[in-house]
Amino acid sequence: MNKAGTFHIVPIGEKLRTAVQALIDDSWAGPYIAVNGRLWDTRTMPGFAALDLRGIIIGYLCYKIHDGECEIMVLESLRENAGVGTALVERTKETARDAGMKKIAVMTTNDNIGAIRFYQKRGFVLRVLRPNMLETSRKIKPGIPLIGNDGIPLRDEIEFELEL
């Protein structure tokens, strides 16, 4: 249960997978995430869901452990400014530490100013800027729009990392 007692974080198990996947498919235009020129299938990723007191999903996070680190692949809070995203990241940090990971990585896009602010406020630092990487990503996932949040042209990947 979070500090305010309004939600709790649980692993995405068999019972929650279908509901979380429906949210991912809706928000991310299907189960595949394009990161650094590769497609990743969220249907096989471990993760966590934030459930309110009624058991309704109010956020989720999926991650992948690869190349010696934990990478957050998708994170969505359906209840903004309530600590949902932070709680999901904190739970992922615990899991990554338990798995012997030294870092957590996350990628976002140049238009996602909210995510850029969110990760930096939680101690993540810029690791890599991939200018025009979305051109490559559109070749493997054509549904990625040309224009993103706030009318900003969607072009670049921005990768952050957090040392554990």
Contacts of 124 (CB under 8 A, 6+ apart): 104, 106, 160, 161, 162
Q: pLDDT, tens digit, for every residue of 96-121?
A: 999 999 999 999 999 999 999 999 99
- pTM score, whole prediction: 0.92
CB atoms within 10 A of CB 119: 25
- How far apart CA 118 and CA 42 sit, in angstroms, is 22
For the residues 9-15, what does the mean pLDDT come to? Answer: 95
- At residue 119, the pLDDT reads 98
pLDDT for 137 equals 94
Average pLDDT over every residue of 73-100: 95
Q: How far apart are CA 21 and CA 47, in angstroms?
A: 11
Give CA–CA dist 88/50, Å, rounded: 7
pLDDT exceeds cutoff 70 at 21: yes
Structural domains of the chain ordered from first start: 7-163 (3.40.630.30)
Residue whose C-alpha is closest to residue 32's, from 24, 20, 23, 40: 40
Confidence at residue 81, expressed as pLDDT on a 0 to 100 scale = 87
Res 80: pLDDT: 86
| % of the chain beyond a pLDDT of 90 | 90
DSSP 8-class letter at 108:
E
Q: Tokens in use for 15?
A: 């019972």
pLDDT digits (tens, 9 = 90+) for 30-71: 999 999 889 999 999 999 999 999 999 999 999 999 888 999
Which tens digit of pLDDT belongs to each residue from 135-161?
999 999 998 999 999 999 999 999 999
Residue 2 in this model has a pLDDT that exceeds 80:
no
pLDDT at position 3 is 63
